[in-house]
Amino acid sequence: MVVEHETRQWILLCQCVCVCVCAEAASAPTSRIATFSNFESSGVTIGEAAKGAYVVWKERGWRLLVVMECSRGWALVLPSFLVLLFASFVGAADEAKRIPTTLEGPFKPYTKKFDTNLRTGSDDLPLYDPRIVKRVPAIYPEQIFLALSTPDAMWVSWVSGDWQMGPKVTPLDPTSVKSVVQYGTASEKYTMSASGISEVYSQLYPFDNVLNYTSGIIHHVRITGLKPNTKYYYKCGDPTLSAMSGEHSFTTLPATGPANYPKRIAIIGDLGLTYNSTSTVDHVAENNPDLILMVGDMSYANLYITNGTGSSSYGQAFGKDTPIHETYQPRWDMWQRLVEPLASRVPFMVIEGNHEVESQINGESFVAYKARFAVPQSESKSGTNMYYSFNAGGIHFVMIGSYADYNKSSEQYRWLQEDLANVDRTVTPWIIATTHAPWYNSYRAHYREVECFRQSMEDLLYKYGVDVMFHGHVHAYERINRVYDYKYDPCAPVYITVGDGGNGEKLELIHADDDGACPDPLTTPDKGFSYLSGYCGFNFTNGKFCWDKQPVWSAWRDSSFGHGIIEVVNSTHLLWTWHRNQDEYDEIVGDQIYIVRQPHVCSNQNNLLRRNKSVRFFRGSDSR
């Protein structure tokens, strides 16, 4: 079937040569003609053409005139009602398979019943699993990791040398091994070279009977001069020591522009190091994405004390001899080995989650996260790993920090306001944001935990027309209708939680609206940081703290491990697909919807309309 998304369409229907004319009922002065020599060359079947005719008849109300010109030299004119009669049978059968769009929202709340034959959790990978053990000599590169910089540059990161653990540790000299990437557009022919920086970090616990950690040497090199849609081959390491990696490759993203998009973008949250984690990674690899977003909570090193003993929850990760949470830092090395087959060939963009906090006695936190990952902080003028932005074709991504100060007087707020104000929607029509902690969540876990965060920043994201916002944190899947301040609004973002990557803390099965499950409002604020504490849950709206049924703003809930895929069709249509780990990957989708922008209706999604102060934003009715 050949279908144009604009007002003119044509329908193909013939076994050989088909000429179809389709004119709009009263107002279209022109028509469109398409000719194909046969169905093999056009990829069109009679059934597909009939489905197209059905869609045109059902959705557009057009009069059809179908002219069939066959190879024997005779022609036949079919009245439109005969075509539509046949088309209706085929089209009606296909109606159930039609993918909905956000234009049809708000959607009636739906909760997928949990299959009790499935386990709610997953076992840790054994430490001897070949996917997470070191496979190279000491100074050779491992844990190779790509990240986007600018449209013509890429960050390449890796680790060389061995970590150390013990009561006393001596950090490696980061200058003892050079940081070099050799790269080019032909295999084994590296015409360009770049050098970078190196560092080590330590996680220290100055207490008796507790082990300290110091990392291998972490390298970050920014390679430049890259062309869009081009495959590059590279090696990294220290050529003076003959300690270079094997050859790896990556393909750059399309150039920035409204008609250029990555083919597939994977979204993962709360991954961990379990058998379900490997299933998620395998499924993502099967989808062959061009870009991966990791919305926080990666290694879960803070669920383990320093001798490697695990616990079932963060609250139990205390050793008897330490007043702060311990961590088992080698799990970071294991986690980066697990994702290296993906991260060494696909840009892997991360944002911090609560399991990356990893506080130290000197008051430092996020030390491992900041040391291990290169992100475009200077490129996006944020100056920090905790929040930043970047472009990928016609999409502007904003990675917002749930655990950096978000008050309206904060550096993050001022940076975000400037960043969004400078987005040119004629160049990057889509704006996609991420935070680890969800603003809208109907599960009991983390229910209304970050109401202060939402209240502080939601107006800003609405003003600049953010289209979609992804979260992790809650270990389940949930898609939220377009809402602003708990009210349906067709110009507000779609919110999606994908904290179901496979971590060992088990799935979240209980909803805040289940009988007796509403959490105590006094326990909901996250007191981990002074700027996260507060009782915004009491004053954000009128009415009860919990709903007595699935909230109307919650469109789809499913307690399953999985991941999501974005496929941008054009400047107004994006296909979102969520896959469950337990399903046959190529045959079943867990949730699927077209997210549709309306820049001609929503002034906040259009630069020109937003600057016209006479145009007001659309505000919907209360979704309660």
| pLDDT (0 to 100) of residue 49 | 43
Q: What's the gap between Cα 594 and its chain centre?
A: 15
Helix axes 330-343, 275-287, angle to 10 degrees: 20
3-state secondary structure of 42: helix
Rounded to an integer, what distance in angstroms lies between the CA atom of residue 226 and that of residue 153? 6
1-10, 255-264, 318-327, 529-538: least confidently modelled range: 1-10
Q: Cα dihedral angle (183, 186, 187, 192), rounded to 10 degrees?
A: -20
pLDDT over 50 (residue 406)? yes
Residues of the chain above pLDDT 70, percent: 76
More confident residue, 47 or 351: 351
| pLDDT (0 to 100) of residue 90 | 53
**pLDDT, mean over the chain:** 84
| pLDDT (0 to 100) of residue 617 | 39
| pLDDT (0 to 100) of residue 118 | 83
Q: What angle do CA 485, 486, 488 make, to 5 degrees?
A: 100
pLDDT-based confidence at residue 209 (cuts at 50, 70, 90): confident
The domain over range 262-611 is classified in CATH as 3.60.21.10: yes
Rounded to an integer, what distance in angstroms lies between the CA atom of residue 351 and that of residue 329? 18
| pLDDT (0 to 100) of residue 324 | 80
Q: φ, ψ for residue 483 (rounded to 5)?
A: -135, 150
Segment 217-260, tens digit of pLDDT = 999 999 999 999 999 999 999 999 999 999 999 999 999 999 99
317-325: average pLDDT: 64
Segment 582-603, tens digit of pLDDT = 887 666 889 999 999 999 999 9
| pLDDT (0 to 100) of residue 94 | 58
Catalytic residues: 446
Rounded to an integer, what distance in angstroms lies between the CA atom of residue 224 and that of residue 349? 18
| pLDDT (0 to 100) of residue 593 | 98
Q: φ, ψ for residue 19 (rounded to 5)?
A: -115, 120
Strand stretches in 93-247, DSSP E: 110-111, 142-148, 154-160, 164-166, 180-184, 192-195, 197-199, 202-203, 212-214, 217-223, 231-238, 243-244
More confident residue, 6 or 333: 333
602-610: average pLDDT: 79
Here the tokens at position 561 are 């491990």
Segment 436-446, tens digit of pLDDT = 999 999 999 99
Q: What are the domain boundaries of the chain?
A: 17-98, 262-611
Is 491 within 8 Å of 467 (Cβ atoms)?
no
Residues of the chain above pLDDT 90, percent: 70
Segment 461-499, tens digit of pLDDT = 999 999 999 999 999 999 999 999 999 999 999 999 999
Quickly count: other Cβ atoms within 10 Å of residue 243's Cβ.
19
Segment 180-193, tens digit of pLDDT = 999 999 999 999 99
| pLDDT (0 to 100) of residue 401 | 98
Q: Count of alpha carbons within 13 Å of 526, Cβ hemisphere only?
A: 21
Which amino acid would we find at residue 256? T
More confident residue, 621 or 557: 557
Rounded to an integer, what distance in angstroms lies between the CA atom of residue 351 and that of residue 469? 13
Q: Which long-range contacts (CB under 8 A, 24 or more apart) does 384-388 make?
A: 385/352, 386/352, 386/412, 387/351, 387/412, 387/415, 387/416
| pLDDT (0 to 100) of residue 520 | 83
| pLDDT (0 to 100) of residue 548 | 92
Here the tokens at position 206 are 């100055």
Here the tokens at position 499 are 């904290």
Is 235 within 8 Å of 180 (Cβ atoms)?
no
Check residue 260 and report its DSSP letter: -
Q: Count of alpha carbons within 13 Å of 390, Cβ hemisphere only?
A: 29
pLDDT over 50 (residue 28)? no
Rounded to an integer, what distance in angstroms lies between the CA atom of residue 214 and that of residue 310? 20
More confident residue, 451 or 413: 413
| pLDDT (0 to 100) of residue 393 | 98
7-21, 386-400, 407-421: least confidently modelled range: 7-21
Segment 88-145, tens digit of pLDDT = 555 555 555 799 999 999 999 999 999 888 888 889 999 999 999 999 998 999 999 9
Q: What angle do CA 331, 533, 499 make, to 5 degrees?
A: 40
Q: φ, ψ for residue 496 (rounded to 5)?
A: -135, 125
- Indicate whether this model's pTM tops 0.95: no
| pLDDT (0 to 100) of residue 607 | 75
207-215: average pLDDT: 93
> Can you give the length of the chain in residues?
624
Q: What angle do CA 121, 127, 128 make, to 5 degrees?
A: 125
Report the b/e string of 97-128 with b at 16+ CB within 10 A: eeeeebeebbbebebeeeeeeeeeebebbeee
Q: Count of alpha carbons within 13 Å of 542, Cβ hemisphere only?
A: 3
Rounded to an integer, what distance in angstroms lies between the CA atom of residue 18 and that of residue 42? 11
